[in-house]
Amino acid sequence: MPNYLLSLIIFLPLVFIPFVLALPSSQKKWAKWLTLGVCSLQLVLVVWLHFHLLRLQAAQNTPSEGLLISEKVEWIRLALGNYGVLSIDYFVGVDGLSWAMLLLSALVMWVGAIASWEIESQTKGYFTLYLLLASSIPGCFVALDFFLFYLFFEFMLLPMYFLIGIWGGERREYASIKFFIYTFFGSLFILLAIIGLYLSVIDPEKTAYETGLVPAGKQITKFDIELVQTKLAKNEIILEKQVHSFNILQATNPRNYRPGSLLQPVAAKSTQGFGWRWWAFWAMIIGFAVKLPMVPFHTWLPDAHVEAPTPVSVVLAGILLKIGGYGMMRLAFSCFGDVAVQNTWPLGLMAVVSILYGALNALAMSDLKKMVAYSSISHMGFVLLGIAALTTEGWSGAIFQMFSHGVLSAMLFFVVGVLYHRTHDRQIEHYRGLLSEMPYFSSFVFIAFFASLGLPGFSGFIGELFTLVGAFKSTYLPVWMPILGALGIVLGGSYFLWALQRMFFGKFWLKQGQDQIIELPDLNYREWFVLAILALLTLILGIFPSVIFQTSTPTINHWIQVLCW
């Protein structure tokens, strides 16, 4: 396997952007085929990587709790005198926390490319932005350098802003601006925490070379790293030789923090009141809570979903929201484990409020797309509940729930788009008896709805079950939190079943202005293909959840053990 496979997956879409832009106006339909081909190749590479990593684990050629595959090259290096040495790496890698998300991003972007077949206006511009999105999203999940992560995180805002603002509905400008302001505002909080970590964290490997403790070209050993950490703790390394790092993995080790630095764990624990580590932790939590999104940072999501075109809604709900949950696990909890342990209660409360608030709002919606949007807020609340539980079951359930919701939300928004494309109407009360008129479409809607409400045998049941089990087992959360979270499942069944009863049963009727449409075409081959793949996947995950657990659990076990400094 080539060492640059992760880079190939990330940057492959960028290579084809010039080809899309160079297409003559008479051949702009080829932009669709190029984009679909690139996303298909990305998916093939990620699936191939998946089976290769499983073989490595089976042969025990790589530690199951560590990086399964990685690429690392020094990118930027500046000697800053008394401020030490600034070092930024191009560092990407995959472990149990990121692997499922990388697979999900490739899958959802592929589904979104097929859903984009209905785009007819300004085709080249649309698919150029889509390819930019297909590059930045997987980059976010595999970046292991704060600087690189933030670049990918910010690059996602630009294409999403234009995709909603140009190809969206009547209020697209308002929705796109609201989306941009909310997410950009949240990213600034994350940036502040990243700067604080950079000022506080030292890379022991590069510092060993910089100080001459290890000769250039010699392999760094564990003993060398421990020697640097010991000297650092005793202030025996001068400032000019300390290499400041944006390395995410180095920031998870409390021994890599400079004594007396802003975010040093020992200093934070001895601080009365709210120390700097407390503020940095909550800055990251707020930034990623906007992305997840959690109440009260959620109000951009329903507007963005309602106005966004179907493929953009598929990508937004299917994968962009998951960056919020992944960011909390990878950055906030891993780098601030001591603070996280002390703040699980408010995070659990935020999760429960989001579960119930999102479900109640979904129950009140008359717009089908808004109902699905609010259901996403409720389902992502289970992710935060699992994370806040700080148990192996909770974190495993959170990752599984993110993957499951990515598949199911893509399916839900796809079926909404199918119906809207035929009638240009999303009002639930304007439909009756769709089962008799569109039996195949109705069958897939039934699968998507029942899987989303947590019916056993489907992936939604596994994700919600494990997050609740983790929350019940947690020593950090009171038992009433998972009990109220379980109430959200009951409410979820209510709004999904209510929509099914209103729209699909009884005598066929459709309100379309002053006219009555007697006939609706059922699914075409393209729609059949996408929905069949997604339905089969949610069934496979519901029956064989080890597909996700076998790669995530070893890493999660490791992180849960080291989180509590």
Q: What is the pLDDT of residues 35-58, one digit of tens each?
A: 999 999 999 999 998 887 777 766
Of 30-39, 334-343, 426-435, 512-521, the one with minimum mean pLDDT is 512-521
Say yes or no to pLDDT of 360 above 90. yes
Q: Can you tell me the distance from the alpha carbon of 198 to that of 178, in angstroms, rounded to the nearest whole number? A: 30
> What is the model's pLDDT at position 26?
75
Strand partners, 515: 512
Q: Can you tell me the distance from the alpha carbon of 306 to that of 176, in angstroms, rounded to the nearest whole number? A: 11
Strand partners, 77: 87
Q: What residues contact 490, with CB distance under 8 A and at least 6 apart?
A: none
Q: Which two tokens stand for residue 152?
A: 């990918």
Name the helix (H) or strand (E) containing 94.
Answer: strand 85-94
Question: Would you say the pTM of this structure is higher than 0.75?
Answer: yes
> What is the model's pLDDT at position 54?
74
Q: Can you tell me the distance from the alpha carbon of 190 to that of 326, in angstroms, rounded to the nearest whole number? A: 13
Identity (one letter) of the amino acid at 273?
A: G
**How many C-beta neighbours within 10 Å does residue 285 have?**
29
Name the most confidently modeled range: 232-241, 307-316, 552-561: 307-316
Q: Can you tell me the distance from the alpha carbon of 551 to that of 68, in angstroms, rounded to the nearest whole number? A: 9
Say yes or no to pLDDT of 201 above 50. yes
> Any idea which residue has 């010991």 for tokens?
230
pLDDT digits (tens, 9 = 90+) for 93-116: 998 889 899 999 999 999 999 999
> What is the model's pLDDT at position 6?
92
> What is the model's pLDDT at position 120?
82
Q: Which two tokens stand for residue 410?
A: 């893509």
Q: Is 113:39 a contact under the CB 8 Å cutoff?
A: yes
> What is the model's pLDDT at position 111?
94
As to burial, measured by CB atoms within 10 angstroms (0-12 exposed, 13-18 middle, 19+ buried), residue 29 is exposed
> What share of the chain has pLDDT > 90, as a percent?
56
Say yes or no to pLDDT of 228 above 90. no
pLDDT digits (tens, 9 = 90+) for 506-535: 888 887 654 555 578 888 899 999 999 999
> What is the model's pLDDT at position 518?
58
Q: Can you tell me the distance from the alpha carbon of 318 to that of 530, in angstroms, rounded to the nearest whole number? A: 14
Q: Can you tell me the distance from the alpha carbon of 5 to that of 268, in angstroms, rounded to the nearest whole number? A: 40
Q: Can you tell me the distance from the alpha carbon of 94 to that of 81, in angstroms, rounded to the nearest whole number? A: 34
> What share of the chain has pLDDT > 70, as a percent?
94
Of 22-36, 53-67, 153-167, the one with minimum mean pLDDT is 53-67
Q: Is 309:168 a contact under the CB 8 Å cutoff?
A: yes
Say yes or no to pLDDT of 271 above 50. no
Say yes or no to pLDDT of 243 above 50. yes
Q: What is the mean pLDDT of the chain?
A: 88
The backbone region for 513, taken as left when phi is positive above 0, alpha when psi lies in -120 to 50, beta otherwise, is left
> What is the model's pLDDT at position 306?
85
Q: Is 388:285 a contact under the CB 8 Å cutoff?
A: no
Q: How far is CA 46 from CA 40, 105, 459, 540, 563, in A?
A: 10, 10, 21, 18, 29
Q: Can you tell me the distance from the alpha carbon of 546 to that of 407, in angstroms, rounded to the nearest whole number? A: 16
- pLDDT confidence tier of residue 237, bands split at 50, 70 and 90: confident
